[in-house]
Amino acid sequence: MKKLRRSARLVDMTQHLLARPHKLIPLTFFADQYGAAKSSISEDLSIIKELFESEGVGLLKTVAGAAGGVKYIPRMKAEEARQTIERIGRTLESPGRLLPGGYLYMSDLLGDPESLGEIGKVFASIFADAEADYVMTVETKGIPLAYAAAYYLNIPVIIVRRYSKLTDGSVVSINYVSGSSKRIQTMSLARRSLPENSRVLIIDDFMKAGGTAHGMIDLLEEFKAKVVGVGVLMETADVEERLVDDYVSLLRLVNMDVRDKEIRLELGNYFTGKE
Protein backbone atom coordinates (compact mmCIF):
# COMPACT_ATOMS: atom_id res chain seq x y z
CA MET A 1 0.00 0.00 0.00
CA LYS A 2 1.38 3.39 -1.02
CA LYS A 3 0.70 6.35 1.26
CA LEU A 4 1.03 9.29 -1.11
CA ARG A 5 -0.08 12.86 -1.11
CA ARG A 6 -2.86 13.55 -3.58
CA SER A 7 -0.57 15.24 -6.12
CA ALA A 8 1.76 12.22 -6.14
CA ARG A 9 -1.20 9.86 -6.27
CA LEU A 10 -2.55 11.63 -9.36
CA VAL A 11 0.81 11.25 -11.10
CA ASP A 12 1.08 7.58 -10.16
CA MET A 13 -2.49 6.83 -11.30
CA THR A 14 -1.93 8.65 -14.57
CA GLN A 15 1.22 6.66 -15.27
CA HIS A 16 -0.59 3.42 -14.45
CA LEU A 17 -3.44 4.20 -16.84
CA LEU A 18 -1.17 5.34 -19.69
CA ALA A 19 0.83 2.11 -19.45
CA ARG A 20 -2.31 -0.07 -19.71
CA PRO A 21 -4.51 1.22 -22.54
CA HIS A 22 -7.89 -0.47 -23.05
CA LYS A 23 -7.50 -2.45 -19.81
CA LEU A 24 -10.37 -2.29 -17.33
CA ILE A 25 -8.95 -1.42 -13.91
CA PRO A 26 -11.25 -1.79 -10.90
CA LEU A 27 -11.58 1.22 -8.61
CA THR A 28 -10.85 -1.14 -5.72
CA PHE A 29 -7.37 -1.67 -7.17
CA PHE A 30 -6.54 2.02 -6.82
CA ALA A 31 -8.29 2.23 -3.45
CA ASP A 32 -6.23 -0.66 -2.08
CA GLN A 33 -3.05 0.59 -3.77
CA TYR A 34 -3.18 3.98 -2.09
CA GLY A 35 -5.22 3.24 1.02
CA ALA A 36 -7.88 5.73 -0.10
CA ALA A 37 -11.65 5.70 -0.20
CA LYS A 38 -13.38 4.94 -3.50
CA SER A 39 -14.97 8.38 -3.42
CA SER A 40 -11.49 9.96 -3.33
CA ILE A 41 -10.34 7.74 -6.18
CA SER A 42 -13.38 8.75 -8.21
CA GLU A 43 -12.56 12.42 -7.69
CA ASP A 44 -8.96 11.79 -8.78
CA LEU A 45 -10.14 10.00 -11.92
CA SER A 46 -12.43 12.93 -12.76
CA ILE A 47 -9.41 15.25 -12.68
CA ILE A 48 -7.38 12.88 -14.90
CA LYS A 49 -10.32 12.43 -17.27
CA GLU A 50 -10.70 16.19 -17.73
CA LEU A 51 -6.97 16.59 -18.38
CA PHE A 52 -6.83 13.70 -20.86
CA GLU A 53 -9.75 15.04 -22.87
CA SER A 54 -8.64 18.68 -22.88
CA GLU A 55 -5.09 17.78 -23.94
CA GLY A 56 -6.13 15.19 -26.52
CA VAL A 57 -4.44 12.31 -24.69
CA GLY A 58 -7.52 10.11 -24.84
CA LEU A 59 -10.65 9.14 -22.95
CA LEU A 60 -11.33 7.63 -19.56
CA LYS A 61 -14.29 5.31 -19.82
CA THR A 62 -16.04 4.34 -16.59
CA VAL A 63 -17.83 1.00 -16.40
CA ALA A 64 -20.42 0.73 -13.63
CA GLY A 65 -21.26 -2.32 -11.56
CA ALA A 66 -19.47 -4.81 -9.34
CA ALA A 67 -17.18 -5.87 -12.20
CA GLY A 68 -16.70 -2.30 -13.38
CA GLY A 69 -13.84 0.11 -13.22
CA VAL A 70 -12.06 2.58 -15.44
CA LYS A 71 -10.42 2.15 -18.83
CA TYR A 72 -8.01 4.46 -20.67
CA ILE A 73 -8.71 4.69 -24.42
CA PRO A 74 -5.96 6.46 -26.39
CA ARG A 75 -7.34 9.06 -28.78
CA MET A 76 -5.62 11.61 -30.95
CA LYS A 77 -7.56 14.73 -31.91
CA ALA A 78 -8.41 14.90 -35.62
CA GLU A 79 -6.36 18.05 -36.22
CA GLU A 80 -3.37 16.66 -34.34
CA ALA A 81 -3.57 13.44 -36.36
CA ARG A 82 -3.70 15.43 -39.60
CA GLN A 83 -0.70 17.55 -38.63
CA THR A 84 1.25 14.46 -37.56
CA ILE A 85 0.69 12.63 -40.83
CA GLU A 86 1.34 15.78 -42.89
CA ARG A 87 4.70 16.14 -41.15
CA ILE A 88 5.56 12.48 -41.78
CA GLY A 89 4.51 12.95 -45.42
CA ARG A 90 6.86 15.92 -45.82
CA THR A 91 9.69 13.83 -44.43
CA LEU A 92 8.99 11.06 -46.95
CA GLU A 93 8.93 13.53 -49.86
CA SER A 94 12.69 14.09 -49.63
CA PRO A 95 14.26 13.32 -53.07
CA GLY A 96 17.05 11.42 -51.31
CA ARG A 97 14.55 8.68 -50.50
CA LEU A 98 14.22 7.61 -54.14
CA LEU A 99 15.80 4.21 -54.75
CA PRO A 100 16.71 2.52 -58.06
CA GLY A 101 13.71 0.76 -59.56
CA GLY A 102 11.27 3.37 -58.31
CA TYR A 103 11.17 2.37 -54.65
CA LEU A 104 10.75 4.67 -51.66
CA TYR A 105 13.12 4.38 -48.70
CA MET A 106 11.10 4.20 -45.45
CA SER A 107 13.22 1.99 -43.16
CA ASP A 108 14.49 4.85 -41.01
CA LEU A 109 10.95 6.05 -40.34
CA LEU A 110 9.81 2.51 -39.50
CA GLY A 111 12.70 2.26 -37.05
CA ASP A 112 12.14 5.57 -35.28
CA PRO A 113 10.29 5.04 -31.97
CA GLU A 114 8.79 8.53 -31.84
CA SER A 115 7.38 8.41 -35.39
CA LEU A 116 6.12 4.86 -34.89
CA GLY A 117 4.42 5.86 -31.66
CA GLU A 118 2.63 8.71 -33.39
CA ILE A 119 1.49 6.54 -36.31
CA GLY A 120 0.46 3.78 -33.92
CA LYS A 121 -1.67 6.18 -31.91
CA VAL A 122 -3.35 7.47 -35.09
CA PHE A 123 -4.26 3.90 -36.08
CA ALA A 124 -5.38 3.10 -32.52
CA SER A 125 -7.61 6.19 -32.52
CA ILE A 126 -9.17 5.23 -35.85
CA PHE A 127 -9.87 1.64 -34.79
CA ALA A 128 -10.51 2.23 -31.08
CA ASP A 129 -14.11 1.03 -31.34
CA ALA A 130 -13.41 -1.98 -33.59
CA GLU A 131 -12.99 -4.27 -30.56
CA ALA A 132 -10.16 -6.17 -32.23
CA ASP A 133 -8.59 -9.14 -30.47
CA TYR A 134 -5.43 -9.16 -32.59
CA VAL A 135 -3.44 -7.00 -34.98
CA MET A 136 -2.25 -8.87 -38.07
CA THR A 137 0.48 -7.92 -40.53
CA VAL A 138 2.70 -9.64 -43.06
CA GLU A 139 6.47 -9.75 -42.74
CA THR A 140 8.51 -7.60 -42.80
CA LYS A 141 8.08 -3.79 -43.02
CA GLY A 142 4.57 -3.82 -41.61
CA ILE A 143 5.75 -5.38 -38.35
CA PRO A 144 6.86 -2.15 -36.56
CA LEU A 145 3.58 -0.42 -37.50
CA ALA A 146 1.54 -3.38 -36.28
CA TYR A 147 3.31 -3.39 -32.92
CA ALA A 148 2.91 0.38 -32.59
CA ALA A 149 -0.85 0.14 -33.14
CA ALA A 150 -1.14 -2.95 -30.95
CA TYR A 151 0.60 -1.17 -28.07
CA TYR A 152 -2.10 1.51 -27.91
CA LEU A 153 -4.85 -1.07 -28.40
CA ASN A 154 -3.21 -3.40 -25.85
CA ILE A 155 -3.70 -6.52 -27.96
CA PRO A 156 -1.28 -9.14 -29.40
CA VAL A 157 0.31 -9.09 -32.85
CA ILE A 158 0.26 -12.02 -35.26
CA ILE A 159 2.64 -12.10 -38.21
CA VAL A 160 1.88 -13.78 -41.51
CA ARG A 161 4.97 -15.32 -43.10
CA ARG A 162 5.90 -15.54 -46.75
CA TYR A 163 7.45 -18.92 -46.00
CA SER A 164 6.61 -21.18 -43.08
CA LYS A 165 9.27 -22.27 -40.57
CA LEU A 166 9.67 -25.46 -38.57
CA THR A 167 9.31 -23.45 -35.36
CA ASP A 168 5.79 -22.42 -36.41
CA GLY A 169 4.46 -25.96 -36.03
CA SER A 170 1.33 -26.74 -37.99
CA VAL A 171 0.48 -23.92 -40.41
CA VAL A 172 -2.28 -22.84 -42.74
CA SER A 173 -0.97 -21.71 -46.13
CA ILE A 174 -2.76 -20.14 -49.06
CA ASN A 175 -1.80 -18.94 -52.51
CA TYR A 176 -2.81 -15.46 -53.55
CA VAL A 177 -2.29 -13.22 -56.57
CA SER A 178 -0.29 -10.04 -56.09
CA GLY A 179 -2.47 -7.19 -57.24
CA SER A 180 0.42 -5.23 -58.80
CA SER A 181 2.68 -7.91 -60.30
CA LYS A 182 -0.09 -10.49 -60.91
CA ARG A 183 2.25 -13.19 -59.63
CA ILE A 184 1.06 -16.11 -57.51
CA GLN A 185 2.59 -15.96 -54.04
CA THR A 186 2.19 -17.85 -50.78
CA MET A 187 1.49 -16.76 -47.22
CA SER A 188 1.30 -18.87 -44.06
CA LEU A 189 0.10 -18.53 -40.49
CA ALA A 190 0.70 -20.91 -37.59
CA ARG A 191 -2.52 -22.61 -36.48
CA ARG A 192 -1.90 -21.97 -32.80
CA SER A 193 -1.27 -18.24 -33.32
CA LEU A 194 -4.93 -17.35 -33.85
CA PRO A 195 -8.00 -18.87 -32.15
CA GLU A 196 -11.06 -19.38 -34.33
CA ASN A 197 -13.68 -16.61 -34.46
CA SER A 198 -11.19 -13.93 -33.43
CA ARG A 199 -11.65 -10.29 -34.42
CA VAL A 200 -8.62 -9.11 -36.38
CA LEU A 201 -7.32 -5.70 -37.43
CA ILE A 202 -4.94 -5.75 -40.43
CA ILE A 203 -2.16 -3.14 -40.44
CA ASP A 204 0.46 -2.79 -43.19
CA ASP A 205 2.95 -0.25 -44.47
CA PHE A 206 2.05 -0.05 -48.16
CA MET A 207 -0.81 -0.92 -50.50
CA LYS A 208 -0.67 -0.95 -54.28
CA ALA A 209 -3.55 -2.95 -55.72
CA GLY A 210 -4.29 -4.60 -52.38
CA GLY A 211 -3.31 -8.16 -53.26
CA THR A 212 -1.46 -8.77 -49.98
CA ALA A 213 -4.31 -7.39 -47.86
CA HIS A 214 -6.80 -9.46 -49.87
CA GLY A 215 -4.63 -12.52 -49.27
CA MET A 216 -4.62 -11.91 -45.51
CA ILE A 217 -8.41 -11.57 -45.56
CA ASP A 218 -8.68 -14.91 -47.40
CA LEU A 219 -6.26 -16.50 -44.93
CA LEU A 220 -8.37 -15.29 -42.00
CA GLU A 221 -11.39 -17.05 -43.47
CA GLU A 222 -9.54 -20.33 -42.86
CA PHE A 223 -9.55 -19.43 -39.15
CA LYS A 224 -13.21 -18.32 -39.23
CA ALA A 225 -11.93 -14.93 -38.07
CA LYS A 226 -13.66 -11.61 -38.62
CA VAL A 227 -11.76 -8.70 -40.18
CA VAL A 228 -12.72 -5.56 -38.24
CA GLY A 229 -10.52 -3.13 -40.16
CA VAL A 230 -7.67 -2.68 -42.63
CA GLY A 231 -5.21 0.18 -42.17
CA VAL A 232 -2.17 1.10 -44.28
CA LEU A 233 0.36 3.87 -43.83
CA MET A 234 0.50 4.58 -47.56
CA GLU A 235 -1.37 3.64 -50.74
CA THR A 236 -0.59 4.37 -54.37
CA ALA A 237 -2.90 6.62 -56.34
CA ASP A 238 -2.49 5.23 -59.86
CA VAL A 239 -4.30 1.90 -59.53
CA GLU A 240 -7.00 0.88 -61.98
CA GLU A 241 -8.63 -1.71 -59.74
CA ARG A 242 -8.17 -2.18 -56.00
CA LEU A 243 -8.71 -5.71 -54.65
CA VAL A 244 -9.76 -4.38 -51.23
CA ASP A 245 -12.63 -1.91 -50.97
CA ASP A 246 -12.92 -1.17 -47.27
CA TYR A 247 -9.61 0.15 -45.92
CA VAL A 248 -8.07 3.23 -44.31
CA SER A 249 -4.94 4.92 -45.64
CA LEU A 250 -3.02 7.72 -43.92
CA LEU A 251 -0.98 8.83 -46.96
CA ARG A 252 -1.35 8.52 -50.73
CA LEU A 253 1.60 8.35 -53.12
CA VAL A 254 0.58 10.57 -56.03
CA ASN A 255 3.80 10.75 -58.01
CA MET A 256 7.32 9.32 -57.85
CA ASP A 257 9.60 10.43 -60.69
CA VAL A 258 13.11 8.94 -60.49
CA ARG A 259 14.44 11.01 -63.39
CA ASP A 260 13.31 14.36 -61.99
CA LYS A 261 13.81 13.19 -58.39
CA GLU A 262 10.31 14.14 -57.36
CA ILE A 263 8.08 12.51 -54.75
CA ARG A 264 4.61 13.85 -54.15
CA LEU A 265 2.37 12.64 -51.35
CA GLU A 266 -1.04 13.70 -50.15
CA LEU A 267 -3.20 12.74 -47.21
CA GLY A 268 -4.90 9.36 -47.48
CA ASN A 269 -8.57 8.50 -47.57
CA TYR A 270 -9.02 8.72 -43.79
CA PHE A 271 -8.49 12.47 -44.02
CA THR A 272 -9.84 13.20 -47.52
CA GLY A 273 -12.60 10.63 -47.94
CA LYS A 274 -11.23 9.74 -51.39
CA GLU A 275 -11.28 6.03 -52.26
- The CA distance from 105 to 232, in Å, is 16
**For residue 273, is it left (φ>0), alpha (ψ between -120 and 50) or beta?**
left
pLDDT score, position 178:
78
Ranges of the chain whose pLDDT falls below 50: none
pLDDT score recorded for residue 100: 84
Q: Among 3.40.50.170, 1.10.357.10, 2.40.70.10, 1.10.10.10, what is the CATH number of 6-74?
A: 1.10.10.10
Q: Say if CB 111 and CB 144 are below 8 A apart.
A: yes
267 in Cβ contact with 86 (< 8 Å): yes
Q: What is the pLDDT of residues 133-171, one digit of tens each?
A: 999 999 989 999 999 999 999 999 999 998 877 778 899
Residues in the chain: 275
* Cβ-proximal residues to 214 (8 Å cutoff; 6+ apart), any chain: 176, 179, 243, 244
Alpha-carbon gap, residue 181 to 259, rounded angstroms: 22
Looking at the domain that runs over 78-272, which CATH code has it been given? 3.40.50.2020
Q: CA 93, CA 67: separation in Å to the nearest integer?
A: 50
Query: pTM for this structure?
Result: 0.92
Listed in order, the ranges of the chain carrying CATH 3.40.50.2020 are 78-272
Enclosing H/E stretch for 35: none
In this structure, what are the phi and psi dihedrals at residue 68, rounded to the nearest 5 degrees?
A: -85, -170
pLDDT, tens digit, for every residue of 101-131? 778 999 999 999 999 999 999 999 999 999 9
Report the alpha-carbon angle 210-216-219, nearest 5: 140
Q: For the chain, give every residue range classified as CATH 1.10.10.10.
A: 6-74
Strands (E), 113-271: 134-138, 157-160, 171-177, 184-190, 199-207, 226-236, 248-257, 262-267
User: Residue 222: is it exposed, middle or buried by C-beta count within 10 angstroms (0-12/13-18/19+)?
Assistant: middle
Can you tell me the distance from the alpha carbon of 101 to that of 115, in angstroms, rounded to the nearest whole number?
Answer: 26
